[in-house]
Amino acid sequence: MPVEELNQEERDSWMRALPEWSLAREGKAIERSFEFADFSEAFAFMARVALIAEKRDHHPEWFNVYNKVDVTLTTHDAGGLSLKDMKMAKAIGSLL
Amino acid sequence: MPVEELNQEERDSWMRALPEWSLAREGKAIERSFEFADFSEAFAFMARVALIAEKRDHHPEWFNVYNKVDVTLTTHDAGGLSLKDMKMAKAIGSLL
């Protein structure tokens, strides 16, 4: 079953529910930066996100340097943002 | 003890020993891209690199999307490449 891109109304509604996330790539992705005490904590977070990603078969684009993790979510199959990204953003937020 | 930046001769000698790595940031860093079968394998590799990084107290800058991992090594304290980066590159290569 193909994943559908959210329409603008759905997207805006989700963004209000996820105030820590920002739109990126002209509304085709969302992103959030996380900062931890050190690399150990940052990587522990990444390991937990990796488990969520694998379980949902939806994977982040992410960058890490020491205690910082930048996460970008988008749905390639949908050509933009889908429900998968928003639910994943919510799941990631619930780890903190 | 401060970490010293490698001189050009040392750097070039190391680069010949690490042909899979490329100089980046005007010779101040080295980088290498890795590709795996899937996210699970890519993240397993990242977990092993994370353990090496923590043990050596020398951490990569890295980006991952699905089965791809881009690793950049540099030594901020040295303002460029140090022995730490080259030894770390070697250790990462030995994981494969």
Query: Mean per-residue pLDDT for A18-34?
Result: 98
- In a domain, residue B1? The reply is no
C-alpha span between B74 and B59 (Å, rounded): 9
pLDDT along chain B (96 residues), means of 10: 90 98 97 98 98 97 98 96 98 97
Q: Mind listing the pLDDT tens digit for each residue in A35-93?
A: 999 999 999 999 999 999 999 999 999 999 999 999 999 999 999 999 999 999 999 99
**B60 vs A1, more confident:** B60
Q: What is the pLDDT of residue B52?
A: 98
In terms of phi and psi (left: phi > 0; alpha: psi -120 to 50; beta: otherwise), the region of A29 is: beta
Is the ipTM higher than 0.90? The answer is yes
> Residue A62's domain is classified under what CATH number?
3.30.1360.20
Query: Which residues lie across from A22 on neighbouring strands?
Result: A31
What is the value of pTM for the model shown? Answer: 0.96
C-alpha span between B59 and A36 (Å, rounded): 14
- In a domain, residue A77? The reply is yes
- In a domain, residue A3? The reply is no
Q: What is the pLDDT of residue A2?
A: 73
Domain count, chain A: 1
Q: What is the pLDDT of residue A1?
A: 62
- In a domain, residue B36? The reply is yes
Least Cα separation, residue B40 to chain A (angstroms): 7
- In a domain, residue B46? The reply is yes
Minimal Cβ distance to A61: which of B47, B60, B65: B65
Q: What is the pLDDT of residue B1?
A: 63
Q: Does B37 touch chain A (CB under 8 A)?
A: no
Minimal Cβ distance to B62: which of A50, A60, A64: A64
C-alpha span between B20 and B84 (Å, rounded): 17
- In a domain, residue B57? The reply is yes
- In a domain, residue A14? The reply is yes
3-class DSSP state of B32? strand
Q: Does A66 touch chain B (CB under 8 A)?
A: yes
List the domain range (segments joined by +) for residue A19.
8-94
Cα→Cα distances B26→B3, B11, B74, Å: 19, 12, 12
- In a domain, residue B2? The reply is no
B49-74 b/e (C-beta count within 10 Å ≥ 16 → b): bbebbeeeebbbbbbbbbbebebbbb
